[in-house]
Amino acid sequence: MGARRIFFLIQMNDRIIAHIDMNSYFASVEQQARPALRGRPMAVVGPSKRSIIIAASIEAKKLGIKTGTQIKDALAICPRLPLIKADCQKYEALSREFIEIFISKTPQVEIFSIDEAFLDLSDCVSNSEEAKILVGEIKQEISQRLGKYIKCSCGIATNKFIAKLASEAKKPDGLTIVETGEEIQFLDQFELDEACGIGNRIKERLNRMGVESFKDLRRVNQTTLTLIFNSYGLKLFNIARGIDREPVKPYYLVTKPKSISRSKTLSFNTFDKNLIDKVALFFCQDIACELKNKGLVCGQIGIYLRFQDFSGFAKTQRIKAPTDLATNLHFFAKKTLGNLVLKNSVRKIGVWCSSLKENNGQLSLCPKFETKRKIEIISEQINSKYGKKTTCFASTVGLNFSPSPSYGFKKDLLS
Ligand SMILES: [Mg+2]
């Protein structure tokens, strides 16, 4: 092993990473803003009447109401549950405030979502005790600047994977430190799918291999995991041992979004594939406009459907020649949906574009695409001056709704 490699390993082992996660974020912001809601069960819901619970207050969570609970089920548990419509702009504005607090301590801040971030404290503190004091100061500043109802949980560890799991360990307002060498012992308290990076599908595949816990996962050798999970096999091999070498990616290096999506819960359930196609085109027009505004093209499109029984369908399609044109996006969205037979009626439709890259201007030299581009740009200019639905594709005339704002990752909060 070369000297540089040894130096790298020592550096990685010496890291002190904090993960800070705001507790019941949207609900807490609303409780802070509305004193009458403080200390009682309440929930934040999406803009549609048929939406689900987006965030439940700490008090509502104690009753069993959580993110994803259907509104009717929440009301069955707590009939007078106050339901507040989500105000994403307000949540983003407050996110900027607490991120400013983090950045005042270290520039090594990775914005992981609208309510959580990783901080690499390795250059600011020399041990976990000093990190604990620093995180205590951050918590106090959040409370003073944003209000005492905005609370956060924090995990401190030698890597991002364990730090994130540690922040989950004590909620609300908790602080958990996992010292070097204690990672495996700490990890073994958790179920496989409690860890970031093991979703339902991976868990099911692991279960089919007889792997039910991290202890079981450590019994599977690296070659087997790589054969089954390809490059993700090495990640699974490492996380089962509490190892994660991913660096904290500072916010100033991540200014472009990783994906752009639009989704909507329909006002009625439908089997009509024609309608689903129209909605997908409607979303593609909106996404294409955002791509052009940000100077991006996308190399992958995905479509997802949520059915009446809350089961789902999701599929992605690679786009060989990355694009920012609505018509191209729609072509691939349609292809992605393919000959899907709807056995269940659809209640929610979503389209997302990923593998985003800078548009280098050479991707649309084909005259046919150039004409389409000119038409789309003129249409977008008209819409920005006279309102979003002034011009649209003929088949989407009559679709009278706005796509839901994205509640997912917002890594460009400071851009
Ligand atoms: Mg949170």
| CA angle at 87 for the pair 81 and 88, rounded to the nearest 5° | 130
* Same CATH fold assignment for domains 181-253 and 255-396: no
Give me the sign of the Cα torsion angle 401, 373, 315, 299. Answer: negative
Please give the distance, rounded to the nearest whole angstrom, from the Cα atom of residue 108 to the centre of ligand 1.
Answer: 20
Tens place of pLDDT for every residue, the chain, 415 residues? Answer: 444 444 444 444 589 999 999 999 999 999 999 999 999 999 999 777 677 898 999 999 999 999 888 899 999 999 999 999 988 889 988 999 999 999 999 999 999 888 999 999 999 999 999 999 999 999 999 999 999 999 999 999 999 999 999 999 998 899 999 999 999 999 999 999 999 889 888 999 999 999 999 999 999 999 999 999 988 999 999 999 999 999 998 887 766 778 899 988 888 899 999 999 999 999 999 999 989 888 889 999 999 999 998 888 889 999 988 999 999 999 999 998 888 888 899 999 999 999 998 887 654 555 666 777 778 888 887 777 667 667 778 778 777 666 554 433 333 334 3
412 labelled as ligand-binding? no
Q: How far apart are CA 205 and CA 111, in angstroms?
A: 30
Q: Which of 283, 263, 262, 268 is nearest to 347 (CA)?
A: 268
Please give the distance, rounded to the nearest whole angstrom, from the Cα atom of residue 25 to the centre of ligand 1.
Answer: 6
Q: Does the global pTM surpass 0.75?
A: no
Q: Which of 182, 203, 183 is nearest to 192 (CA)?
A: 203
Fold category of 13-160+168-177 in CATH = Alpha-Beta Plaits (3.30.70)
The phi, psi pair for 101, rounded to 5°, reads -65, -45
Domain ranges of the chain: 13-160+168-177, 181-253, 255-396
Name the CATH superfamily, with its identifier, for domain 255-396: DNA polymerase, Y-family, little finger domain (3.30.1490.100)
Note whether 145 and 164 are within 8 A (CB).
Answer: no
116 given a catalytic annotation = yes
Distance set, CA 161 to CA 13, 120, 136, 243 (Å): 13, 13, 21, 8
- Contacts of 239 by beta carbon, 8 Å cutoff, 6+ apart: 161, 187, 195, 197, 198
Q: How far apart are CA 187 and CA 239, in angstroms?
A: 9
Please give the distance, rounded to the nearest whole angstrom, from the Cα atom of residue 143 to the centre of ligand 1.
Answer: 16
**Among the options 30, 59, 110, 116, which is catalytic?**
116
21 labelled as ligand-binding? yes
Architecture of domain 181-253: Orthogonal Bundle (1.10)
Quote the pLDDT of residue 377: 80
Please give the distance, rounded to the nearest whole angstrom, from the Cα atom of residue 303 to the centre of ligand 1.
Answer: 26
